[in-house]
Structure 1
Amino acid sequence: MAGTIEALVPGGEADPGPPLGPELGPTPVNVQEVVAEINDQTEAFDGMEVPVTVEYDDEGDFTISVGVPPTAALIKDTAGFETGSGEPQKDFVADISVEDVRQIAEQKGPDLLAYDTKNAAKEVAGTCVTLGVTIDGEDARTFGERVDDGQYDDVLAEEAAA
């Protein structure tokens, strides 16, 4: 009866109720142990929705894989707001720095389609556009052009190998 369960759980605050409890109940795993392990691994994403995969075998052994929260959740957490703008082209709800954009791009890393930090930052900026978030006080829609012009080379440059 080995299997896999995937769920979105609040970082550091998972409990044996839904969505995990009903999925884990019929399996041979100890639900409390699974929940405790998930909370240990997701505490850095306190309160954010985090994708989690639990793989288990017939003996009740399990492994947990923790994904990275959606880009929008990381932006909201960084900027400190709950809901994006209803009119993101006109009404801006928050502002984040280029350093914040870089940090989010690095956190999302493998989940993004980009091959380097500059292009990953552009992907994050695209999410900023849909949420109504500016970057360093500028409209996020022009961020890609500013990156291509080299305006943020010092912040978004790939780190040299150590």
Structure 2
Amino acid sequence: MAGTIEVLVPGGEANPGPPLGPELGPTPVDVQAVVAEINDQTAAFDGTEVPVTVSYEDSGSFDIEVGVPPTAALIKDELGFETGSGKPNEEFVADMSVEQLKTVAQQKLPDLLAYDTKGAAKEVAGTCVSLGVTIEGEDARSFKERIDAGEYDDVLGEEAAA
């Protein structure tokens, strides 16, 4: 009766209640051990909804795979706002620094098609456009052009670990 359970849990704040408890209850795993392991692995996401897959065996052993939250959720969490702009080209809800952009890019890098932090930052900047978030006080589209021109290579130029 081995199986897999997929749930969304708040980073570092999983508990034996729903949605985890009812899913894990009928399985042979120690629910508290699973919750503790999930909280350890998701602590860096601090309350942001994180996709988690729990694979378990009949023996009670389990394996946890933590996904990466959506880019928009990471941006909202980093900048501290709830919803994006209804008119993202006209009304802006927040401004992101290059350092914050790099932080989100590095968190999201394993899930993106980008090979390095610079490429990931460009993808994150694209999400900023649709949320109505400026970067360093300017439209995210023109900021992406400045990344392409190499203006932020000193901050974003680090290569991803292969």
User: Does the TM-score normalized on the shorter chain lie above 0.5?
Assistant: yes
Secondary structure of the structure 1 residue equivalent to 2:60: coil
What are the equivalent positions in structure 2 for 1:8-157 lying under 5 Å apart? 8-157=8-157
Residue 159 of structure 1: how far off its partner (Å):
5.1
Decide whether the 8 Å contact of 2:117 with 2:160 is kept in 1: no
After superposition, what is the alpha-carbon deviation per residue over 1:61-118, rounded to whole angstroms, capped at 9, x for unaligned? 1111222222111111111111111111111000111121112111111201112222
Length, aligned pairs only = 161
Quick one: distance in 1 between partners of 2:40 and 2:120?
Answer: 28
Secondary structure of the structure 2 residue equivalent to 1:147: helix
Partner AA of 2:50 in structure 1: V
- Please, which runs of 5 or more residues in structure 1 have no aligned partner? none
Quick one: distance in 2 between partners of 1:44 and 1:139?
Answer: 29
Between stretches 52-61 and 15-24, larger displacement belongs to 15-24
Quick one: distance in 2 between partners of 1:66 and 1:105?
Answer: 17
Percent identity, aligned pairs only, is: 78
Between stretches 15-24 and 75-84, larger displacement belongs to 15-24
Scaled by the length of structure 1, what TM-score is found?
Answer: 0.92
RMSD: 1.7
